[in-house]
Structure 1
Amino acid sequence: MIVGDALAPQKHNSPANGKGLGLWRAVSGQRFWAISGVDAQPLLLAFAMATGAAAYFTMPSEPAMEAILLAPLLAVALIAVGRRLLAPSLVQFVLWLAFGVVLGLSAGAVRARLVAAPVISEMTGPVMVEGWLSEVETGAKGPRLRIEVHAIAGMPPEATPKTVRVTHRSRLEVSSGRFVRCWSVLRPPPAPGMAGEYDFRRQAWFEQLGGVGYVQGRCRGGALGAPGGIVSDVRMHIAAFRRQLASHVDEAAGERAGGFAAALVSGDRSFMPVEDQVALRNSGLAHLLAISGLHMAIVGGLVFYVMRRLLACIEPLALRVPVQKPAAIIALLASLSYLVISGAGVSTQRAFIMLAVVFGAVLFDRAALSLRSFAIAMILVILLQPESVMSPGFQMSFAASGALIATYEAWTARRAVSDRVMGSVSYSWASLAVTSLVAGTATAPYALYHFDRLAGLGLIANLAAMPIITFVSAPAAAAALILTPLGYGDLGLRVFGYSLEAILWIAETCTAQAPDGISPGKQMPDLSLVLFTAALAAAVVAHGVWRWIFAAALTGPALWLWFTAPGLALHWSASGDVFVRLKGGDIEKISYVDGDGLSPMRFSTLEPSGSCSNWPCVLDSVIGPIRLNAPEGDEGSLEGQQSCEPSDEVSLDLVMTRPSEACGPSLAWSDISRQGGVTIDTTGARTQRATPCKARAWKPCSKDSGQS
């Protein structure tokens, strides 16, 4: 078998397959790539577009718009010329990939300009913020309110953000959809303080979120009506309905799991205790909370199955119409309704697009679960939401989907030629186990890159939880919907709540047995993630033994780069938290100062330790003793604690204000808050965020965003 055959999932017709030698075949005697493969082309285009979109967001400066718009047109012209003059060859393969790259890059650049909206440039307030409360989210310090701004006192309309998000630390007395007035302190969306961290500031730009902050006191309801425009009016009514629905589900599903049920039905997590969210995250079940592919597949699949069965019972209709087509339309409408009710978050929109492609394939008599459908869904998502390429949700959902579809096709082909017949129960459990294993393996590199750890018992937790979600929770929720007009909907919601209580018990049990999860001990380099992604892409496109050859050839260098990279020794975040890797390998989190920045997402599962109850506090790190001097407001002289006596064998001092005559290596909070975070690796090298201001649209020049 040659490479070209390995990378063509299906047989196909091409000039190089008997109709012409082609450029590469003429040179080497082998066909390099089957570019005309009916599945290879859209897959290659999708992967290339993802590469181009990622390249746009990692560029050090904004590319020229003229070049961005002309590049795809030039690539199309070259491909058209190449198709006429060349047989399928390496040249056409490169042109096709180049077209995908520039198309993805252009999608990112155009989208960044289309969503441009004012962003607060510096700390502002306290000021009166007036607007409509569109969403309530759970936060560590209280509910986070997303407000569509009507006006901000003292701020001209052209500089007023479209949306702000503020933390409400007091008891919330207003509901979604209401006009509110909040006395708030605002600042620009914070930048990541650590290399490789998820860039909230960039995501805020694409969500038109122009400021974040906190409320002083309480938000009060106002008398102004709905915002102008039909779309805004409908959006506020939907927000109010979602809040009422979440409140009802929270009460009807039971005290223990009511918040979990409300989150699954409406996407509103504000009723769910933070401890339950942490348990789901630490057990590897956090994907149940984010309304995405799993939830859309359950809703759409359940409606499709039920409607297909019901329509098949109508004999005149079943004899004249393929019942799967009207069933697909109804399932698509039901999924659209769920999209609206659940808040239409980015991950939910992405899942709906993927599901729409699947049901579209049913309507046009194509294979619903195929790599072609997978590629079309990825292309559409990148065109509509190119910024999502950089998010963990996009990466993990498409990694799992691609791996599962490729596995499904391989498994189906093997069963077709196998004489062994499995029972329905055995097949169901085998399918569940393989699904969990394949999805977990495919998403592991992205979980390790973004979160620095894997759930220790994630596979077991998913094997135990997924049958409950699929065969108990989903039917119970559907029954509640059907019984609601009859007045018995709460019965279905109570069963729904009981099933979710079982899920929470599984999460808590698995977390208790493996509380720390699995951590590699060092951050994965960017290039390693790129190689892991390339290995997964090659494994999806290729078939047979070549799948394993390509995966091994790319995974090996990725692992080598990862294991030889220097590890983290210390990170002082703009949030004020200090993370120190001790000599034993564990990372200690100390809540040192109350800062305004973001704590690294990769350490989100760490709880503050009690190691530093007295000051000064000395921690035995992998680079030597690190001393934390008294933070502001604690007893003790800050400067007097940093002495130069020979008995003090300290490799690094952490202080609030740098003394005029420092006697050794030190870090001062005054520098950290300005630089946005500092990281020191095991070699002693120090890195800090130092991106030029205004290099990109979402990187403003301001001291509050860490720029200078």
Structure 2
Amino acid sequence: MRRFPSSLLQFTSRDRVPTFYALGMLTGAAWYFSVDFEPTLLWIVVGAISSGLTALFSRRLQHTALLHVISIIAFSSTLGALAGSLATQRLSHVQIDQPVGPVMVEGWITRIAPAKRGVRLVIRVHAMDGVSADQTPDLVRLTQISRLETEPGRFVRCWAALRPPPAPVIQGDYAFDRQAWYSGLGGVGYVQGRCQGGGVGAPPNGSDALDLEIGKVRRRLGQHVRASAGERAGGFAAALASGDRSFLSQADQEALRRAGLAHLLAISGLHVGIVGGLVFALVWRGLALIEPLALRYSVKKPAAAAALMVCGAYLVLSGASVSTQRAYVMALVFFGAVLFDRAALTQRSLAIAMIIIIVMAPWSVLTPGFQMSFAATLVLIATYEAWKERRQADLKSPHGVGFWIKSIAVTSFVTSLATMPFALYHFERAAGLGILANMLAMPIISLVSAPFAAGALLLSPFGLEGAALRAFGYSLEWVLNIAHTVRAWGFFDGVALPKMPATSLSLFAATMISMCVLVRSRGSAVVAAILIMSATGVWLMSARDRIHWAPSGDVYLETSFGKVERIGFYDGDGLGPLRFSDAAKNASCPEEENCFVPFQGDTIALLRENTALNCSELADWEVALTGTAISKCGDDQSPIVVNWSDVVRENGVTLVRRANGFQKKSKPACGKRAWRKCY
């Protein structure tokens, strides 16, 4: 028993304290953005002060190791919640509160992104017809289906229909309204026809004008890379060079996504790491060749400074998305450690990067990019540390081609394994052959594509980058061929999985933490096994048959095994669940006719307006979805009835099968969070 406190103190040692503070802040920020009410700032501050004082004094007392650990976790968690609350307090921007238009929207295009049909234009609004200046949103996102005849930085006039950023149609779906609020997006909609160029110059705000100029440079860079890299992979090359995916075809995007290579499209830690690492290695080795300099000074430091400057330029030119900012912070911590003679690739540096990002953008902790990138990095660091210990114990360390291939295989395997729970939770799928696709593609990206891209950058001032860019395109053609081949094999594409609950994801994440952060021992392995079994058990027990009636008018029947059937029923103006965006329409109810759909042993009645029914008919159905209200015959024989007016008012209705039949699932009340408006 005496060993218990000492083992706890190992967790709060100097090297591990930043890791536990980062994990605590992550937990607190995730809690703040997940709850259905706005936590009181005063109580968060009081909790932070009290737990902080407890952590400070318990460190100085004997026999208080457990109290010290608990107080550190509580203190860091309140700091994470405080970061979220302060971020919400800082933000104040206009969002439209009802559908608007068609209306003339005038402004400057800041960003162009691909859509399933057409392109999405993010516009910094100058004016909207019929809307006062104090009610005009700063940014709107419009989808244009017609051919694009403009570019970022241009002033345009668009005849558009706008609506507030949509809330999740079903619980657990992607919270676009929250993301829009913290991104400053005031409305979304579509263009009727095509945006036309206008004659207004740059915006008066200096930062906005600079942002538009950077957008122009990015667009021209993407166009140049696309033209030089070749028709087949030009769009892919432009996406990697400038972060502009609008040149990439939908077929290539889908192939990369299905093959488990979609992470190549988001400028993130992989890209910044390759760029920074390549510059660092070139400058370091180049300076090392200058003997007088190498003997007197540490040539690693100017190499690290050069890598940081190039990574900063890449951050700006790629659009400075949230994932790129996160990657740059990690690079800043990594190369900063080199500048200050500290170990770079450690859990401590990862924790410092995580803390900085949580302070800067606490809402990002719920995004898949944040979770997957840090999970992969944490597992990689733990794997490399264990591998290093094993190689030091082995007098004959492996080397050569075999060791290089083994390193790539292990890296691909552990990163795929680390990100799999998050992919299953957020996307309800994991690429079955993603490990193989990454093993084949990543050596090409790291050893062929990146050097040719760097060569093109060095040759561009002399106008000689054409050959290097073409070689860059050839290498990316190989990657696209790998993606399409793996996608064509289609393993596990037809496997349906039920929605993973957040509790299971938390338990899977705790498993990773226990294996990577805590002292590796048989005890931690036992804890990890218990957590995995608990997570899987909760996942399986939470599986239920569900019926979703979306504002789009479609009805989605979801079995407990995750199989989804989409039925066209009503003609609604709203959206369908993002989770089921790939679900094919299995059937449609003919206009002015009722439908009776068998579902897992029950009958679901889809009833049109003005349907005359008697009590004996109602008793035969478990659920009735109807266009108008119908009278009940009694609780013992009437089905669960949902009216179309309920769907419109509540932005979608979900029914969940319980032990005593289907029950309506409640949704969070509007108006209790800054981004969850009441319309």
Structure 1, unaligned runs of 5 or more: 3-24, 630-636, 703-708
Alignment match of 2:448 (pick from 439, 456, 472):
472
Aligned-pair distance for 1:403? 0.7
Residues 582, 196 of structure 1: alpha-carbon distance in 2 compared, 3 angstrom cutoff: closer
Q: Deviations over 1:194-238 (max 9, x none)?
A: 222221101111001111111122211122111123211111100
| Matching of residue 400 in structure 1 with residue 376 in structure 2 | yes
Letter in 2 for 1:560: G
Change (3 A) 1:417 1:244: same
The answer as to 2:358 corresponding to 1:359 is: no
Letter in 1 for 2:672: A
Q: Are positions 1:658 and 2:608 aligned together?
A: no
**Residue 552 of structure 1: which of 529, 534, 548 is its match?**
529
Q: CA deviation at 1:590?
A: 4.6
CA distance in structure 2 between the partners assigned to 1:85 and 1:674 by the alignment: 57
Equivalent residue in structure 2 for 1:193, among 169, 181, 185: 169
Residue 96 of structure 1 aligns with an amino acid whose one-letter code is I
Which of 444, 454, 466 is the aligned partner of 2:430?
Answer: 454
Residue 600 of structure 1, CA deviation: 3.4
Q: Per the alignment, do residues 44 and 105 of structure 1 end up closer, same or farther by CA in structure 2, a change over 3 Å counting?
A: same
Distance in 1 of aligned mates of 2:246 and 2:407: 35
Total equivalences in the alignment? 669
Partner of 2:9: helix, strand, or coil?
coil
Distance in 2, Cα, partners of 1:90 & 1:394: 30
> Over residues 340-359 of structure 1, what are the superposed CA-to-partner deviations in whole Å (9 max), with x where a residue is unaligned?
11110011111111111111
Q: 2:557 aligns with which of 580, 603, 609?
A: 580
Residue range with higher mean Cα deviation, 436-445 or 312-321: 312-321
**Alignment of structure 1 residues 306-455 onto 2, 5 Å:** 306-455=282-431
SS of corresponding position for 1:172: coil
Taking the aligned partners of 1:419 and 1:597, their CA distance within structure 2 comes to: 66
Residue 504 in structure 1 maps to residue 480 in structure 2:
yes
Q: TM-score, normalised by structure 2?
A: 0.92
- Out of 85, 89, 92, the residue aligned to residue 113 of structure 1 is 89
Contact 2:107 2:127 in 1 (8 A): yes
Question: How many angstroms does 1:86 deviate by?
Answer: 4.5
Q: Distance in 1 between matches of 2:580 and 2:413?
A: 25
- Residue 624, structure 1, aligned to residue 594, structure 2: no
The amino acid of 2:529's aligned partner reads: A
Counterpart CA distance in 1 for 2:295 and 2:171 is 61
Contact 1:581 1:622 survives alignment (8 Å): no
Aligned partners of 1:99 and 1:411: how far apart in 2?
A: 34
SS at structure 2 position matched to 1:151: strand
2 CA distance for matches of 1:234 and 1:407?
A: 43
Given candidates 222, 226, 239, the residue that maps to 2:198 is 222
Gaps of 5+ in 2: 633-637
Superposed, which structure 2 residues align to 1:232-311 within 5 Å? 232-311=208-287
Give per-residue Cα distances to partners, 1:558-600, cap 9 Å, x unaligned: 1111111133433333344443346996323456566554543
Note the alpha carbon deviations across 1:68-123, whole angstroms, 9 max, x for none.
34443443333333334456611111111111011000000001121221111111
**Which amino acid in the other structure matches residue 524 of structure 1?**
M
Q: Distance in 2 between matches of 1:641 and 1:304?
A: 76
Distance 1:664 1:103, change over 3 A: closer
**Match 2:548 to one of 571, 575, 578:** 571
Verify the 8 A CA contact 1:678 1:688 in the aligned structure 2.
Answer: yes
Whether 2:458 is the aligned partner of 1:482: answer yes
When residues 495 and 508 of structure 1 are mapped into structure 2, their CA distance, relative to the original with a 3 A threshold, is same
Q: Is the 8 A contact 2:544 2:560 kept in 1?
A: no
Q: 2:8 is paired with a residue of what secondary structure? A: coil
> Which amino acid is 1:680 matched to?
L
Distance in 2 separating the partners of 1:597 and 1:311:
61
> 1:129 & 1:186 partners in 2: Cα distance?
10
User: Partners in 1 of 2:561 and 2:72 — Cα distance?
Assistant: 50
Larger mean Cα displacement after TM superposition, 646-655 or 407-416: 646-655
Work out whether residues 191 and 200 of structure 1, in 8 Å CA contact, stay in contact via their aligned partners in 2: yes
- Residues in 1 aligned to 2:42 and 2:335: alpha-carbon distance in whole angstroms: 38
Structure 1 position 283, deviation (Å): 1.2
After the TM superposition, which of the residue ranges 645-654 and 531-540 deviates more from structure 2?
645-654
- The amino acid across from 1:679 in the alignment is T
Q: 2:650 aligns with which of 668, 675, 695?
A: 675
CA RMSD between the two structures? 2.6
Give the counterpart letter for 1:674 in structure 2: R
> Displacement, 1:619?
5.1
Change over 3 Å in CA distance of 1:367–1:88 after alignment to 2: farther
Deviation at 1:62, TM superposition (A): 1.3
Query: Could you say if the C-alpha distance between residues 588 and 276 of structure 1 is closer, same or farther in structure 2, counting changes exceeding 3 Å?
Result: farther
CA contact (8 A) 1:107 1:382 kept: yes
Of residues 222-231 and 460-469 in structure 1, the stretch that sits farther from structure 2 once superposed is 222-231
Q: State the partner residue of 1:706.
A: none
In 1, Cα distance between equivalents of 2:240 and 2:613: 52
Equivalent positions of 1:35-54 (< 5 A) are 35-54=11-30
Cα deviation digits, residues 634-653 of structure 1 (max 9, x gap) = xxx76569898869976445
Say which SS state the counterpart of residue 332 (structure 1) adopts. Answer: helix
Give the Cα separation in 2 of the matches to 1:257 and 1:116.
42
Q: Distance in 2 between matches of 1:495 and 1:613?
A: 53
Say if 1:599 and 1:358 are closer, same or farther in 2 by CA, change over 3 A: farther
Equivalent-residue separation in structure 2 for 1:591 and 1:175 (angstroms): 37
Structure 1 residue 255 displacement after superposition: 1.7
Report the 3-state secondary structure (helix = DSSP H, G, I; strand = E; otherwise coil) of the residue aligned with 1:33. helix
Partners of 2:6 and 2:304 lie apart in 1 by: 44
Residues 682, 514 of structure 1: alpha-carbon distance in 2 compared, 3 angstrom cutoff: farther
Who is 1:125 aligned against?
101
Shift of the 278–681 alpha-carbon distance from structure 1 to 2, 3 Å rule, reads farther
Q: Select 1:64's aligned residue among 32, 35, 40.
A: 40
**Alpha-carbon distance in 1 for matches of 2:272, 2:357:** 16
Pick closer, same or farther for the CA change 1:165–1:587 going to 2, 3 Å.
same
2: CA distance between counterparts of 1:299 and 1:593?
Answer: 51
User: Could you tell me how far apart the structure 2 residues matched to 1:294 and 1:305 are?
Assistant: 16
Does the aligned pair in 2 maintain the 1:589–1:607 contact within 8 Å? yes
Distance 1:485 1:321, change over 3 A: same
- 8 A Cα contact 1:577 1:599, kept in partner: yes
Q: Output aligned runs, 1:601-616, within 5 Å.
A: 601-604=578-581, 606-612=582-588
What amino acid is aligned across from residue 187 of structure 1 in structure 2?
A: R
Residue identity in the other structure for 1:658: T
Q: Show CA shifts across 1:338-385 (max 9, x none).
A: 111111001111111111111111111111110111111111111111
- Aligned residue type for 1:414: R
Q: Deviation string for 1:434-461 (max 9, x for gaps)?
A: 1111111111111111111111211111
Residue number in structure 2 paired with 1:6: none
Which AA in structure 2 matches 1:101? Answer: S
Residue-by-residue CA offset, 1:381-409 (whole Å, 9 max, x unaligned): 11111000011111111111101101110
**Alpha-carbon deviation of 1:696?**
0.8
Distance 1:556 1:660, change over 3 A: closer
Question: What is the distance in 1 between the residues matched to 2:492 and 2:615?
Answer: 38
* Counterpart-to-counterpart distance in 2, 1:155 and 1:689: 35
**RCO comparison, higher one (Cα < 8 Å, 6+):** 1
How far residue 39 of structure 1 moved from its aligned partner, in angstroms, is 2.2
**Hey, what's the Cα distance between the residues in 2 that align with 1:59 and 1:607?**
29
Q: What does residue range 25-104 of structure 1 map to in structure 2 within 5 Å?
A: 25=2, 31-86=7-62, 89-104=65-80
Asked if the contact 1:566–1:681 (Cα under 8 Å) also holds between the matched residues in 2, the reply is no
After superposition, the Cα gap between the structure-2 partners of 1:493 and 1:573, relative to the gap in structure 1 and judged at 3 Å, is farther
Cα drift, residue 658 of structure 1: 2.8
Tell me, in whole angstroms, the C-alpha distance in 1 between the residues paired with 2:228 and 2:470.
6
Q: Which moved more, 1:515-524 or 1:177-186?
A: 515-524
Q: Say if 1:563 and 1:666 are closer, same or farther in 2 by CA, change over 3 A.
A: same
Q: Which residue of 1 aligns with 2:539?
A: 562
Q: Quote the Cα distance in structure 2 between the aligned partners of 1:445 and 1:144.
A: 30
Q: Quick one: percent identity of the two aligned structures? A: 46
Q: Which stretch has the larger CA shift, 485-494 or 380-389?
A: 485-494
